[in-house]
Structure 1
Amino acid sequence: MVKTASKNIRHLSITELEQYFEAIGEKKFRAKQVWEWLWQKGAQSFADMSNLSKDLRQKLGDNFFLPAITMDATQYSEDGTIKTRFKTHEGHLCEGVLIPTDSRNTACVSSQIGCSLSCRFCATGYIERKRNLDFDEIYDEVVLLNKESEKIYGKKLSNIVFMGMGEPLLNYKNVLKAIERITAEDGLAMSPRRITVSTAGVAKMIKQLGDDQVRFKLALSLHAANDTKRNEIMPINETNNLKAIVDALNHFYKQTKNEITLEYILFNNFNDSKKDADELIKIYRQVPADLVNIIEYNPIDFAKFEKPSEERMSEFMSYLEKNKVNARLRHSRGKDIDAACGQLANKG
Structure 2
Amino acid sequence: MLTTAKQIDIRSLTLDQLKEYLVQMGEQGFRAKQIYEWLWQKSVTDFDQMSNLSKSLREKLKEHFSINCATIRQSQVSSDKTIKNSFTLHDGNVIEGVLIPTPDRMTACVSSQVGCSLTCKFCATGYMDRKRNLNADEIYDQVVLLSKQAEQHYGIPLTNIVYMGMGEPLLNYANTLKSIERITAPDGLNMAAKRITVSTAGIAKMIKKLGDDGVRFNLALSLHAANDEKRNEIMPINEQNSLKALAEALRYFYAKTKSPITYEYIVFHHFNDGLEDAKELAMFCKHVPCKVNIIEYNPIELADFVNAEADKIEAFAAYLREQGIVTNVRRSRGKDIDAACGQLAIKEKTN
TM-score of the two chains, using structure 2 as the length reference: 0.95
Equivalent position amino acid for 1:123 in 2: A
CA distance in 2, matches of 1:96, 1:113: 11
Structure 2 distance, partners of 1:99, 1:73, is: 16
Tell me the distance in 1 between the aligned counterparts of 2:285 and 2:25: 59
Taking the aligned partners of 1:50 and 1:91, their CA distance within structure 2 comes to: 29
Which runs of 5 or more residues in structure 1 are unaligned? none
CA distance in 2, matches of 1:49, 1:74: 29
8 Å CA contact retained: 2:202, 2:238: yes
Residue 311 of structure 1 is matched in structure 2 by 311
Contact 1:250/1:288 (<8 A) preserved? no
Q: Which amino acid aligns with 1:328?
A: N
Are the equivalent residues in 1 in contact too, given 2:112–2:139 (CA < 8 A)?
yes
Deviation at residue 6 of structure 1 after TM alignment:
3.3
- Give the counterpart letter for 2:67 in structure 1: L
Offset at 1:317? 1.6
Tell whether 2:336 aligns with 1:336.
yes
CA contact (8 A) 1:122 1:343 kept: yes
Corresponding residue SS for 1:304? coil
CA distance in structure 1 between the aligned counterparts of 2:196 and 2:21, rounded to whole angstroms: 34
Assess if the C-alpha contact under 8 Å between 2:7 and 2:63 holds in 1. no
Which residue matches 1:229?
230
CA deviation after TM superposition for structure 1 residue 53, in Å: 4.0
Deviation at 1:314, TM superposition (A): 1.5
Paired with 1:155 and 1:27, the residues of 2 have a C-alpha distance of: 39
1:5, 1:61 within 8 Å by CA — same for their partners in 2? Answer: no
Native 8 Å contact 2:86 2:97 kept in 1 = yes
In 2: Cα distance, 1:238 partner to 1:13 partner: 38
Q: Secondary structure at the match of 1:155?
A: coil
What aligned pairs does 1:44-63 form with structure 2 within 5 A after superposition? 44-63=45-64
Residue pair 1:293, 1:327 contacting (<8 A) in 2 also: yes
- Who is 1:265 aligned against? 266
Matched AA of 2:27? E
Cα distance in 2 for residues equivalent to 1:322 and 1:18: 58
Quick one: distance in 1 between partners of 2:190 and 2:338? 31
User: Cα deviations across residues 225-258 of structure 1 (Å, max 9, x unaligned)?
Assistant: 1000000000000000000000100100000001
Cα distance in 1 for residues equivalent to 2:57 and 2:45: 16
AA aligned opposite 1:278: K
Is this contact kept in 1: 2:260–2:288, CA < 8 A? no
Alpha-carbon RMSD across the aligned residues, in angstroms, is 1.5
Give me the identity figure in percent: 60
- Cα distance in 1 for partners of 2:121, 2:302 equals 8
Match of 2:40 in 1: 39
Structure 1 partner of 2:190: 189
1:83 pairs with 2:79: no
Where 1:285 maps in the other structure, the secondary structure is coil
* Aligned residues between the structures: 346
- CA distance in structure 1 between the partners assigned to 2:235 and 2:23 by the alignment: 53
SS in 1 for 2:332: coil
In the alignment, which residue of structure 2 is the partner of 1:302?
Answer: 302
What's the secondary structure of 1:281's corresponding residue? helix
Paired AA for residue 107 in structure 2: T
Question: 1:211 offset after TM fit, Å?
Answer: 0.8
What are the equivalent positions in structure 2 for 1:282-297 lying under 5 Å apart? 282-289=283-290, 291-297=291-297
Say if 2:238 is the partner of 1:200.
no
Structure 2: distance between partners of 1:58 and 1:138: 27
Q: In terms of mean alpha carbon deviation, does 47-56 or 170-179 score higher?
A: 47-56
The CA deviation at 1:17 is: 2.5
Higher mean C-alpha displacement, 33-42 vs 90-99:
33-42
| Cα contact 1:136–1:178 (8 A) shared by 2 | yes
CA contact (8 A) 2:197 2:220 kept: yes
> Does 75-84 or 4-13 show the bigger shift?
4-13
Residue identity matched to 2:266: I
The answer for unaligned runs of 5 or more in structure 2 is none
Q: CA–CA distance in 2 between the matches of 1:31 and 1:324?
A: 52
Structure 1, residues 269-308: CA drift from partner, whole Å, max 9, x if none? 000011111111111122321x100111000010110011
Partner SS for 2:317 = helix
Q: Residues of 1 paired with 2:212 and 2:17: CA distance?
A: 29
Q: Quote the offset at 1:207 in angstroms.
A: 0.5
Residue pair 1:45, 1:68 contacting (<8 A) in 2 also: no
Question: Counterparts of 1:249 and 1:27 in 2: how far apart (Å)?
Answer: 47
